[in-house]
Copies of this chain bind each other. A is one copy, B any other.
Amino acid sequence: MIKDNKNAGNLIVRPIGIVRNNNNEPSLVAGNEGIKMKEQNKANMKQIRQINEEISEIIIDNDIIDILEGVEKYSHLIILYWAHKVPEQSRSLTKVHPMGRECFSKVGIFATCSPARPNPILMTVVRLHGIRGNVLEVTGLDAVDGSPVVDIKPYVRNFYPEDKISIPEWMQQIHKEFEENSFKNS
């Protein structure tokens, strides 16, 4: 696909672990036409809030358990996982309605957090609660049960920009709704 790249070609990702939690269905469902929210907006916001509170387990392949040494010194970790419930054909979508909501105009997928993307690698910063052998206990992981984990990285706040950040209006609105819903129900 990329003509001027002599290194182009498919790259092989090997899952190094798996997510175990009670989150059985993704809140955004990807189909041929784009993404759709599973439920009403408010129910969806509630689901997202619950995820933030519930413990997920990340079970790391026992053969590489040494790779976790020292991870316990971090309060937060970055988890890269594969959106395995996204159908293969959704990887060729280029534009979607943000959060599957038709009130927002379609935008390019790289401007969104849509799970339907050319390479469905999703990223979340989680709080680490504990480690038992090859099992990490975390909160804040928005992955569904059974998601293959592809990488874990330390979360170091100083690596992130401190200067002025700008985001589009529709993203500001989604965030505002989420915050309002969180406060009302907590």
Contacts and interface: CB of A to CB of B under 8 A. Distances in A.
A145 to B, nearest CB: 11
Contacts of A4: 18, 59
A169 B168 CA distance: 37
A103 interface: no
B70 A111 contact: yes
A14 to B, nearest CB: 6
Given A12-B10, A84-B7, A67 B121 contact: no
A119 B167 CA distance: 30
Contact of A13 (B1, B121, B160): B121
A117 to B, nearest CB: 6
How many identical chains are in the complex?
2
Contacts of A108: 66-71
Given A71-B110, A111-B154, A1 B160 contact: no
A43 interface: no
Interface stretch (A21-29, A30-38, A72-80): A72-80
A53 B101 CA distance: 38
A75 B164 contact: yes
Contacts of A109: 67
Interface of A: 1-2, 4-18, 59, 61, 63-64, 66-71, 73-78, 80, 82, 84, 91, 94-95, 106-113, 117-119, 121, 123, 125, 127, 140, 146, 148, 150-161, 163-169, 171, 175
